[in-house]
Amino acid sequence: MKRNNRRQMPQNSQFSQILNDLTSALTFIFVALLVIALLIINPQVPEFEPLQVTAEWDSCLKGEREPGLSRADVDTWIMGTFYTATGEQVTEILGYSTRDRKTKHFILDQDDKGYRTPYPGSPQKEDGELNKEVIKSAKSTLTDGYYDINLHLFSDKGELRTQSSICVDVTVVVFKGDKSREKVVCQFTAEKNNPAILFNNRQERTVCQFEIRNGLFVEGSNEDIIQKPFITRR
């Protein structure tokens, strides 16, 4: 009997190896099918942003620093003019001084007070956060109404001593991620030789205006921008 047991041991070991390999193969197939099923059920879709206002500066910067390292403090503001079902006008304004930097319709997603020469051990900003402000929608869509976006040169912090102006690149996109509705409604960039230019401290400039009606951008509503100061009049 002992001889028979010794002869059967290699066979049992081989059977166990086959069983382990089969289990591993079945597990791999199950995981692969599960991943495929999840991709089918939850397909990857582009990130949707009803509104994205981006302001970056200073493409006019000269000297030892590059654009993105401007000391100037430029603020980006937005005003929405909406109407209730009874026809009552409701105005909503968002900027750096807005409580929690959030209103019913808007969010100041990123605020920048200008570049400061770092001191030893000081926290550093990430490159993507230098001289950049971003405003987004606080809702999943855009409410029907009129939208005005203004820039305000809070302080040049000495930059205008060596240059005549502060140049801001501004891009406003609505319904970003929706192929049928996505549209760049306003764009001022150094690349296109038309950045938004600010010459004086406390100067306010309207850089974008548009209308949303029935959940859609109204074609032509972003043309012929009328200056509408609402920051310095608050």
Name residue, tokens 């041991």. Answer: 9
Does residue 218 register a pLDDT over 70?
A: yes
Average pLDDT, the chain: 84
Where does residue 129 fall: left (phi above 0), alpha (psi -120 to 50 degrees), or beta otherwise?
alpha
Inter-CA distances, 37 with 25, 27, 43, Å: 18, 15, 10
Domain ranges of the chain: 1-44, 49-217
Length of the chain: 234
Given this model, what pLDDT does residue 98 score? Answer: 93
Higher pLDDT, 178 or 126: 178
**Model confidence over 62-115: pLDDT tens digits?**
776 777 888 899 999 999 999 999 999 999 999 999 999 999 999 998 777 666
Report pLDDT for 143: 97
CB 32 within 8 A of CB 128: no
Query: pLDDT digit string (tens) for 161-177?
Result: 989 999 999 999 999 99
Query: pLDDT value at position 45?
Result: 46
pLDDT tens digits, 61-72? 877 677 788 889
d(CA 186, CA 40): 36
pLDDT of residue 43: 45
